[in-house]
Chain A
């Protein structure tokens, strides 16, 4: 029984398993993509609730309702892990990537459909391991950075950290398999005429992301393994007492961790490029520049890691290098922002929900980008390292920006995925509510950081009370907006009208708009022939 091969070869397309078999044994890129999106929605509820707990605790000075301070640290840690590995990555890379990469390049499916299935279920297992980690013996209160010695057996003796490490191992394996699958698919399975320089930018973004994963995750895996053996088998890679060095962990972690933030945001670049081009009814401006800006960001992302470690005790010359290398990244990101604006320039722009989210994305990304340029300076880190300024910065530039990109992609593609129209008016309310909420939530955190409030603390000096209250109010607004989003999903599936194969009109020029909505189980069985950037036109 070679189910996978059967699907890839495109015969017996009437027959596919139904019921639970269809999902558990799925080798279909669309079904797997859907499962990734559902998983990310579940993780979003968990991770979002954790941030709600954090903001409730910080709403007023003094400890509010958390008496077990380890619990607070576990919330901080869990929120980060969930959002990074189980919300943003599955939604964009696993979800939209699986759904639309094969559709956009004119391939019938992914290169290795059964490996695709393994990737997904490994991630589901990793999620369960992570939840176990949060709920056994006090949980892992190490922050997502898991710095030893705090994370070693002396200071986190229970199995919680071990579960966390295993969870990341499994999630990492899932990502590596997924990355290999995407790279092979994109390199080898493009339809005739779909040259590498004709690929939609979303495909480019997934290709770059896949390479980042391929190079970064093994380093994390290596570091995690060393940490695991330090904890359990008496090795001393990161223990001074045995001749190791805890700083080495920080180097390894951030060698992975910095590319990881690009892994989160680069697929977002891809989505935003598609959306802006579609609704401006213009091809992307400076296509090659856009594609290679992502490649450049990915490459430079590997040589800037120590800018997360300016205050660890690095000599000045090393820091000077990392300042320079980090500042350079502003150039390709600038190219991207200006190219998006130039794409809109001269266009005939419509503003349905996905385009509004795309414009919101640009705003957030620019604000987070300029604070990033400021934070790149080692001198400024004497004031800002580990303060709320950093929290505000990275939420703007990658966390909330990535979430806006996901919402944008969701509204853009839900018609193709479900065959149904989302409620436009509610979606616009969703945008304004969410956009206002996150700005009220995160902008005041710049002020808190300027004034010196450290991150990851459950209580703070009374003078920080004002902006913390504002920030928490913003969190509730954003929370309500998120509930509205779930209502919109329900509404779309329960009463959304049917949509055409190309619901967005002349601006939507990529191949996914040539197939029916919802996209049938098997697509592109006859390989489409492409001879321009806009194959669907």
Chain B
């Protein structure tokens, strides 16, 4: 197993380096690339703002680290016992102490103001054209479209052996959540069991799904494409195996999909009736909670 992995790793590494050499990258398609060191490409206004803000604080971070390192390097060279046999006795310098308290404060103000702007921007409530509801389950997501009839379906990860050509491993799901691009969408989050977290890095989305309450966010997907994410709150045995796959399509295509979905998911479309169908099961859930994993395999 290790050997296989090493082989594939070399290929991955090679292709990664090549693609990074070939001039500017094409849009990465809503997921990370081999050897990636930076954010995934932004595909929503919030993520664009996050990257913009990060560009600022990154400069601050690097300057501080470089400054301290240079200072320390200089001190080590200049004041080592060989270079400076007689130590000074200075233990105070009021002005200096005031300066190194005040300057960081100023830097923090420089960071805090745009930070607040970003915070409130991501939190604002936009006029949304439609709503989807995300429900976290151990270990899959349920998506509902309350504005489009009663479409509701579960989204499970595709096991490695069932993957088809072009489906990224451990990110692909059987039923991706289809959303219209260039549309303001309201997102509601809740959970049916433990706390999960629905996250899509390229869209700047990350919010807990908490049982017994809803959380709300919004998204505006700039371009069509596939966007991937993973559960981001430890939720039990298969926490690493409940990916998010958003398929963003033009509005027209979305309407067509809605019609199809109504038919496709009609047998389970009645929402909570689904749960009624497997009513006998839930009661032994407690006992088998952590063993579910094996059952699914």
Contact = CB atoms under 8 A, between A and B. Distances in A.
The range of chain B's interface size is 35 or more
A289 B97 contact: yes
A328 B84 CA distance: 36
Interface in A285-299: 285-287, 289
A386 B232 contact: yes
B193 interface: yes
Interface in B1-47: 1-2, 5-6, 8-9, 12-13, 16, 31-40, 46-47
Nearest to A250: B195
Given A282-B89, A348-B86, A377-B57, A70 B237 contact: yes
Interface string B83-103: 011111111110011001100
A218 interface: no
A272 to B, nearest CB: 13
A500 to B, nearest CB: 19
Interface of B: 1-2, 5-6, 8-9, 12-13, 16, 31-40, 46-47, 49-50, 53-54, 57-58, 60-61, 64-65, 68-69, 71-72, 75-76, 79-81, 84-93, 96-97, 100-101, 104-105, 108, 111-112, 115-116, 118-123, 138, 160, 168-171, 189, 193-195, 197, 199, 201-202, 204-208, 210-213, 215, 228-241, 285-287, 289-290, 293
A451 B36 contact: yes
Contacts of B64: 366, 369-370
A202 to B, nearest CB: 17
Contact of A282 (B6, B91, B138): B91
B54 A374 contact: yes
A367 B119 contact: no
Contacts of B241: 459
A147 B211 CA distance: 12
Contacts, number: 338
Given A373-B61, A451-B36, A463-B32, A345 B286 contact: no
A343 B236 CA distance: 49
A447 interface: yes
Contact of B108 (A282, A319, A328, A359): A328
Interface stretch (A16-24, A177-185, A332-340): A332-340
A461 B211 contact: no
Contacts of A346: 79, 84, 87-88, 90
Given A150-B234, A377-B111, A457-B230, A451 B38 contact: yes
A193 interface: no
Nearest to A327: B108
The range of chain A's interface size is 35 or more
Nearest to B62: A370
A399 B88 CA distance: 34
The 10 closest A-B pairs by CB, nearest first: A240-B212, A457-B240, A379-B118, A452-B201, A346-B88, A60-B5, A451-B32, A313-B215, A316-B123, A370-B61
B118 A359 contact: no
A69 B290 CA distance: 10
A341 interface: yes
Contacts of B194: 147, 149-150, 155
9 contacts: A59-B5, A154-B285, A319-B119, A330-B104, A331-B101, A370-B65, A379-B119, A447-B36, A455-B234
Contacts of B115: 323, 377-380
Given A349-B80, A359-B72, A331 B289 contact: no
A526 interface: no
Contacts of B46: 382
Interface string A425-454: 000000000000000000000010011111
A459 B170 CA distance: 8
B237 A462 contact: no
A346 B229 CA distance: 52
B179 to A, nearest CB: 18
A522 interface: no
B232 to A, nearest CB: 4
B286 A313 contact: no
B101 A320 contact: no
A207 to B, nearest CB: 21
A347 B5 CA distance: 52
Given A374-B54, A452-B32, A366 B65 contact: yes
Contact of A454 (B57, B87, B231, B285): B231
B12 A64 contact: no
Interface string A22-37: 0000000000000000
Contacts of B36: 447, 450-451, 463
A109 B199 CA distance: 54
Identify which of A142, A452, A461 gathers the most chain B CB atoms within 10 Å of its CB. A452
A461 B75 CA distance: 44
B119 A323 contact: yes
Nearest to B202: A452
A382 B198 CA distance: 11
A383 B204 contact: yes
Nearest to B289: A155
Nearest to B243: A461
